[in-house]
Each structure stands twice: as C-alpha cells, then as structure tokens.
C-alpha cells in the first residue's frame, strides 16, 4: 500500500472506530431504557434543562456583549468629540499666545488703537467659536476688547484672572463656566494666559471667551437614544453642557455624586449606574479631553441599549423553554410507555414461568432450573437434591369434595412448600396436576430428607391449623435424593432415581418420605 493509500485509509479507520463507539453508546442507552425507563426520563429532563441553562447563559453573555459594543461605540464618539474640542482649543491657544505676545511688544502697543486692535485680534476674531477676546491689566480692568471699544469693566474677581495673578506658572487656564458681564450674561468659559511686564512682574492677562453653545451643539449632534445623555464637565465637577439639557437650571451646577466622583478620579472608563437626575440606569463611558480641564461622557440608557437584545432574548428564551418543555413531556410519556411495556413484559414473562393456580414455577421454568443446577453441580462438585412430591389420592379427593376444594388444597400445599424452601437458591414448581418438584442446591441427602419430612408433617396437619379456613385432610408422598459427581451419569438418570423413590413411598402406604437408592446400586441392577 502506497503513502497516499495510507493517508486515505487513516481517516476511514478513525470514522469506523467512531461509529463503533457510537453504536456501543446507543446500545447502552437502549439497555438502560429497557431496564430503567424512568431513569431515561430523568436523564432526558436533565439534558433538556441543561440545554435551557446553556441557552440562558448564552443570552446573558449576549447581554454583556451588547453592553460592551455600546461602550465601544461610546468611546469612539468621545474620541471624535475630544478631537474636535482639543483641536479648537489648540487654535484658540495659538490665538491667545499671539495676543499675549503682542501685549508684551512695545512697538505694537505704541500703534494707533485701530491698527493695534487689528494686529492683536485679527486671527482670534476669525474663529467662529470665539465669542470675545480681551486683555486685562494687572488690576483686572479691560484695556483691549476684540469686539470693539473696551468697555468699562473690572473682572478681577474671575477665576481666570486671579489664578494668573497668584500663580506665575499657571500656563493656559480653562475657567469655570460663567455668565458674561460684557455679552448680556452669555454662558461662556474662558481660556486665559498671563501677561508679564518687562521686569517679569504680573502685567495682566489675555483671555478668550468661548460660548457654551459650542459644546452644546457638539453634544446635540450625538444620537444617545430616547433616554440617553451626553455631557461635558470640568474636572471640579462643574457641568459645562449636557444633552438633553437639565430643566429649570439657570446656574452652572457642581456635582459631587458618586457618578461624578468616579469620573474625576480616573482618566477614562465605563460603568453602569443610576442617574441622580432622573433615576434612569445608564452605561457611562467617559474620558478626559487631552490638554484641557474637561471630561467628556456619553451615557446611553441601558433600556435603549438592550431593547433589541431583550426582544431577541424573549423569542429565543421562549422557544427554548417551549422546545425543552415539549421534549420533557415527550421523553416522560415515552418513559412511562416503556415502563408500562416493561411491566407488561415482566408480567407476561412471569405468567409464562408461573403456574396460574399455585403461583409456583411451572414445568418450563423447572426444566431450566434443573439443567442449570445440574451443570453447576458438575462444575463445582457440590451436591444438589431434588424432592418429588405427590398428593395422595387426589383424584378421589376431587371426586369427594369438588374441584374448588381440590384447588384450595393445592394452593395450601404450594404455600407450605414455599415456607420451607426459603433459601435464595431453592426452587419449587408444579410438575403436573397434583405433583410438585423442589430443587435444593448445595444440599446433601440428609438435609433433603429433613426438609421433605417437615413438608410432609405440615401438609398432614394444615387442614386443622388455627386461623386458616379448614379443608378436608390430605397427605403427600415424597421421594428425594441427592446427585453427586460420582453418581448419576445424566440428569435424566437422576430424575428417574427420584421418581422411583416416589413410587416406593406410594407402594409403602403413602404419606411418607423415601430416599432414592444410591446411583451405584441402580447401575448394578
């Protein structure tokens, strides 16, 4: 066989082995179903419930996958939003640095006001998101104003001013949201930088005001679902903008809730929490906007995220439960049917092996027992004894008292035999009309004679036993004998020897036990 033939033969052999194993397993299941049908029902129920459990575990994993996907989407949205804010803040900072550089340049400051204004604010004024550009002196007074003539105003109380007055290294500072005094209380935040005099002392600030509407229009473009939310907060918890906007809120609110604290303590993350505003459970995903003091967050509502998952889960879960319930019902109906069939088969087998009148084994069963015990005796060398029991004058008994009494007498005899043959290996059968045969494995002739005599005495007096309905007296004749390896050459010869003993008991006057002649003596005859 070539290499290619071997390569083809190996999978085929593996498939054959797999089929053989499956056949073995199927055979074992079939045997289990035949012997323990209710166990098959229980096993089928466990398998069905396991399948349902696996379905629900899969659905639970699908729920988490849906939430994870929503978090990934939120992170992408935050990334786009952050890039937009970061880019515009960088442009604003470039403009702001140009203003501060101009304020420090004596040549520019000596120019005519119109020309100086144009040089200082031309670049900043062209940005659409900038509401106003101003310059303040060291006392907080407005000395330059990008929108025109400087208004008479002092802004020394603003955080974007006194931070630079107190800290030379503040750099670019992003203020808290505020309502502008210069622009009709417009909601704004300010970006400011320190202006130093020639000697390095504080000489004021340059400040750019950015309308809060810029952030609001960024958030309003987001699709956060019917119950979701998106917002931008400052790193001190001050809400800058939110969609949907908070109702009845005219002031900028600083939040100290657990949700906000978690955002303020981390650079980025995702978590599930109940909103303190409306009690809606949301999946919060947040990240700090690089180069700013702002945090962007997107929080779709859990119910919006899971609406499709719930619809699919209801369909899949209901289908799994229906299929599982149907399977369980069918498997138990089958199990009960198999149980009833097994019980019926057992009854039929019992009826086929049992004498209907006495309840003892019948002739067919007796033949199997005799053959089995004879073969065991030949293998082990242990003796086996047999009793032939015949009711004396039973035909006359029937004629005298009727068949009903005769049947009752046979039942009483069968009960007596069963009481005396109680060992697990002992067996007794109805051999003919009024004949019975008892098989006593591992019993010698002396033991068999003792049992036979006990049976004879009980039957002799059973008609007068207390508490038992009396029947006319009867007696039995019993022939008994034991087979050994050194004795009978065949089972038939052994049976003939016991039958001869029974006839000897009848010839001797009945109602007695006679032991069979030894096998050697019969052989000599």
Query: What's the CA gap between 471 and 468, in Å, rounded?
Result: 9
373-404 residues labelled b (16+ CB within 10 A) or e (exposed):
bbeebeeeeebbbbbbbbbbebeebbeeeeee
265-280 residues labelled b (16+ CB within 10 A) or e (exposed):
eeeeebeeeebeeeee
DSSP alpha helix (H) spans, 272-306: 302-305
Catalytic residue selected from 144, 373, 383, 434? 434
C-alpha dihedral sign at 349, 352, 358, 363: negative
Q: Which of 323, 327, 319 is nearest to 41 (CA)?
A: 327
Residue with tokens 């800058």: 240
Tell me how far CA of residue 428 lies from CA of 362, 413, 422, 479, 490, in angstroms: 9, 11, 10, 14, 21
List, in order, residues 6 or more apart from 356 with CB less than 8 Å away: none
Query: What's the CA gap between 249 and 438, in Å, rounded?
Result: 105
Beta-sheet pairing, 476-483 with 513-515: parallel
Give pairs for 223-226: CB < 8 Å, separation 24+.
224/298, 224/299, 224/300, 225/300, 225/301, 225/304, 225/305, 226/301, 226/304
21: phi then psi, degrees, rounded to nearest 5: -65, -40
For residue 156, list its beta bridge partners: none
Based on the residue annotation, tell me whether 460 is a catalytic residue of this protein. no
E strands within 368-488?
384-391, 427-430, 435-441, 476-483
CB 204 within 8 A of CB 143: yes
Q: What is the CA radius of gyration of the chain?
A: 54
Point out the residues that are catalytic: 434
């Amino acid at each position: 066989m070539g290499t290619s033939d071997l390569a083809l033969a190996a999978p085929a052999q593996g498939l054959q082995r797999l089929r053989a194993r499956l056949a073995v397993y199927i055979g074992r299941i079939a045997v289990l179903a035949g012997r323990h049908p209710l166990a098959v029902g229980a096993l089928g129920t466990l398998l069905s419930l396991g399948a349902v459990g696996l379905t629900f575990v899969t659905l639970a994993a699908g729920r988490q996958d849906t939430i994870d996907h929503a978090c990934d989407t939120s992170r992408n949205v935050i990334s786009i939003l952050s890039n937009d804010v970061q880019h515009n803040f960088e442009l604003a900072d470039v403009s702001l640095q140009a203003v501060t550089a101009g304020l420090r340049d004596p040549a520019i400051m000596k120019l005519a006001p119109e020309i100086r204004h144009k040089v200082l604010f031309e670049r900043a004024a062209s940005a659409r998101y900038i509401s106003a550009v101003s310059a303040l002196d060291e006392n907080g007074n407005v000395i330059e104003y990008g929108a025109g003539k400087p208004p008479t105003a002092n802004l020394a109380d603003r955080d974007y001013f006194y931070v630079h007055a107190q800290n030379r290294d503040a750099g670019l500072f992003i203020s808290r949201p505020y309502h502008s005094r210069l622009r009709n209380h417009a909601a704004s935040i300010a970006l400011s930088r320190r202006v130093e005099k020639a000697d390095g002392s504080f000489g004021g600030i340059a400040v750019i005001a950015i309308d809060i509407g810029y952030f609001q229009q960024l958030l309003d473009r987001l699709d956060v679902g019917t119950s979701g939310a998106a917002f931008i907060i400052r790193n001190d918890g001050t809400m800058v903008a939110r969609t949907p906007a908070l109702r009845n809120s005219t002031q900028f609110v600083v939040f100290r809730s657990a949700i906000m604290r978690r955002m303020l303590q981390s650079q980025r993350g995702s978590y599930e929490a109940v909103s303190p505003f409306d009690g809606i459970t949301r999946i919060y995903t947040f990240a700090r906007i690089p180069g700013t003091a702002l945090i962007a967050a997107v929080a779709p509502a859990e119910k919006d995220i899971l609406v499709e998952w719930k619809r699919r889960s209801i369909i899949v879960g209901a289908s799994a439960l229906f299929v599982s319930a149907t399977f369980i019902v069918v498997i138990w109906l089958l199990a009960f049917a198999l149980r009833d069939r097994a019980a019926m088969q057992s009854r039929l087998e019992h009826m086929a092996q049992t004498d209907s009148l006495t309840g003892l084994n019948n002739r067919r069963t007796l033949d199997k027992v005799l053959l089995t015990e004879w073969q065991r005796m030949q293998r082990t060398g242990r003796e086996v004894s047999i009793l032939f029991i015949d009711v004396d004058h039973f035909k006359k008994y029937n004629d005298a008292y009727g068949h009903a009494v005769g049947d009752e007498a046979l039942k009483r005899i069968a009960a007596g035999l069963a009481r005396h043959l109680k060992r697990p290996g002992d067996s007794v059968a109805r051999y003919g009309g009024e004949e019975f045969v008892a098989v006593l494995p591992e019993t010698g002739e002396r033991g068999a004679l003792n049992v036979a005599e006990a049976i004879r005495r009980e039957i002799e007096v059973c008609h007068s036993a207390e508490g038992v309905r009396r029947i006319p007296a009867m007696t039995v004749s019993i022939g008994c004998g034991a087979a050994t390896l050194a004795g009978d050459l065949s089972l038939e010869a052994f049976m003939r020897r016991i039958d001869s003993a029974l006839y000897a008991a009848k010839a001797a006057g009945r109602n007695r036990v006679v032991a069979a002649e030894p096998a050697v003596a019969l052989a000599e005859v």
